[in-house]
Amino acid sequence: MIETKTTDVIEFHFDFASPFGYFAAQEIDGLAARHGRSAVWRPVLLGAVFKETGARPLTEIPMKAGYARHDIQRTARRMGIPFQMPSPFPFATIAACRAFYWLDALDPEAAKTLAKALYDEAFGKGGDISSAQSVVQVAAGLGHDAGQVEAALKDPEVKERLRAVVQSAIEREIFGSPFFIVDDEPFWGHDRMAMLEDWLQNGGW
């Protein structure tokens, strides 16, 4: 139901606490459209995956932390988009994910718009999207009914949908953010989008 595996889509997996997921979110729909594809957005909880791989957020690893923070800032400057590192970081994303999957079942395009607004709040403005209230507020800002969103975040069906997506991501070895799958071919990282586009252009190597 959640897993989409048709040949004309690009699966775009990301974590709401991933700066490089935020960057990829600005570009993936345009990239897909240039090649007659559409992107299916799939936020995941990387914390659950990191338990399997023993990985830690880049920004917590000795030496890599300083580089990562610098690289993130210059990538935003290069892209010419607003960027502010949220504090605290990393942060909980379970409410953001649940809101996404609630809406995705009703209207995938609206869910993308919500995801972009959540990313913009977190990394465009450096705001907090870790709590249920903050997620409800962002959704309400897009015209969604606050009470309905609040209820959705507690809905066992929505929780189960997210759980199934994360379980599937672990089984499919989706271990980072952003992580793309196109024609069964995996691409990990914002800096792999050029390679992904080359793949779409030239049909693989």
Mind telling me the catalytic residues? 18
3-state secondary structure of 132: helix
Query: Of 181, 203, 195, which is closest to residue 39 (Cα–Cα)?
Result: 181
- DSSP classification of residue 121: I
Cα separation values, 95 from 29, 86, 99, 158, Å: 24, 17, 6, 11
Give 140 or 170: the residue with its C-beta nearer to a copy of itself.
170
Q: How far is the CB of 40 from a copy of itself (least distance, A)?
A: 20
The total number of residues shown for the chain amounts to 205
C-alpha 54/C-alpha 49 separation (Å) is: 8
Give 57 or 176: the residue with its C-beta nearer to a copy of itself.
176
C-alpha 205/C-alpha 199 separation (Å) is: 7
Give 71 or 155: the residue with its C-beta nearer to a copy of itself.
71
C-alpha 57/C-alpha 68 separation (Å) is: 10
Give 74 or 125: the residue with its C-beta nearer to a copy of itself.
74
Give 157 or 198: the residue with its C-beta nearer to a copy of itself.
198
Q: How far is the CB of 195 from a copy of itself (least distance, A)?
A: 7
**Paired strand residues for 173:** none
Which phi and psi angles does 14 have, rounded to 5°? -155, 165
Residues binding a copy of itself (CB under 8 A): 49, 52-55, 61-64, 66-67, 70-71, 74, 77-78, 173, 175-176, 186, 188-189, 191-192, 194-195, 198, 204-205
C-alpha 170/C-alpha 44 separation (Å) is: 10
